[in-house]
Amino acid sequence: PMGSERTEIRKRQMATTPETPGAAQAQLSTGNRGSNACCFCWCCCCSCSCLTVRNQEEERARRTSHELQAEGIPNCEESPAPTLEEVNAWAQSFDKLMLTPAGRNAFREFLRTEFSEENMLFWMACEELKQESNKNVIEEKARLIYEDYISILSPKEVSLDSRVREVINRNMLEPSQHTFDDAQLQIYTLMHRDSYPRFMNSAIYKDLLQSLSEKSIEA
């Protein structure tokens, strides 16, 4: 009887004994990995580098058009309303379209519908950089252009080949008005070959042309 009582007491003690700290720690660790691990690593801390990059990207993506304007990027260029003659000239060549503020504004409106407005913004920023002569201003504007349109972390990154990127990285060691010339030409060519033909067939261009034609007839 005494032996059976001891056996029963031992069973009750084993039933109420908690898991060892090591086992509990392993279970907690496994649970955390399953629920909180990020896509690049198994750590579960909020300071994980990939989460930091993701937060930076989300923050840049949340910048409003007002903030962009504050950085010196206007919503549109100031220009008089285009004439029927000017709008007809846009169909003759991409160069004629890009020569006038009204043409650039209309084309930029079209690019916005295709989510490629950054191409025009980059081209305009490069044109603005070429007008600067102050070394400090050039360096600051070159840095902003790089961060906004060249960096892979930017939501407005433009599409450039590796050769042009290498040229830019070398040029950024000592920025000048012509740091982005090769990149600007590549984006200009991309807009010409890819976006310009679609713009000429777009409702934006056709509606503007029709409206000016009707006004011309009425006059």
The three-state secondary structure class of 178 is: coil
170-190, pLDDT tens digit by residue? 999 999 999 999 999 999 999
Q: Residues 63-89: what's their mean pLDDT? A: 67
Taking the C-alpha atoms of residue 24 and residue 75, their distance in angstroms, rounded to an integer, is 58
Domain with 113 in it: what CATH number?
A: 1.10.167.10
Q: Is residue 75 part of a domain?
A: no
Q: Is residue 104 part of a domain?
A: yes
Asked whether the predicted pLDDT for residue 77 surpasses 70, the reply is yes
The pLDDT value recorded for residue 13 is 58
Q: Which domain holds residue 180?
A: 84-216
Q: Is residue 174 part of a domain?
A: yes
* Count of CB atoms situated within 10 Å of the CB of 98: 19
Q: Is residue 47 part of a domain?
A: no
Q: Is residue 93 part of a domain?
A: yes
2-42, pLDDT tens digit by residue? 455 555 555 555 555 444 444 444 443 444 444 444 443 33
Q: Is residue 138 part of a domain?
A: yes
72: left (phi over 0), alpha (psi -120 to 50) or beta: left
Asked whether the predicted pLDDT for residue 44 surpasses 80, the reply is no
Q: Could you give the number of structural domains in the chain?
A: 1
Give me the long-range contacts of 114-118 (CB less than 8 A, separation at least 24).
114/195, 114/198, 116/195, 118/149, 118/156, 118/157, 118/158
The pLDDT value recorded for residue 1 is 52
83-137, pLDDT tens digit by residue? 999 999 999 999 999 999 999 999 999 999 999 999 999 999 999 999 999 999 9
The pLDDT value recorded for residue 178 is 97
Does this model's pTM top 0.75? My answer is no
The pLDDT value recorded for residue 35 is 41
Q: Is residue 71 part of a domain?
A: no
Q: Is residue 106 part of a domain?
A: yes
CA distances from 115 to 17, 110, 120, 158, 219 (A): 62, 9, 11, 11, 37
Asked whether the predicted pLDDT for residue 65 surpasses 90, the reply is no
Averaged confidence pLDDT in the chain:
79
The secondary structure element, H or E, covering residue 156 is none
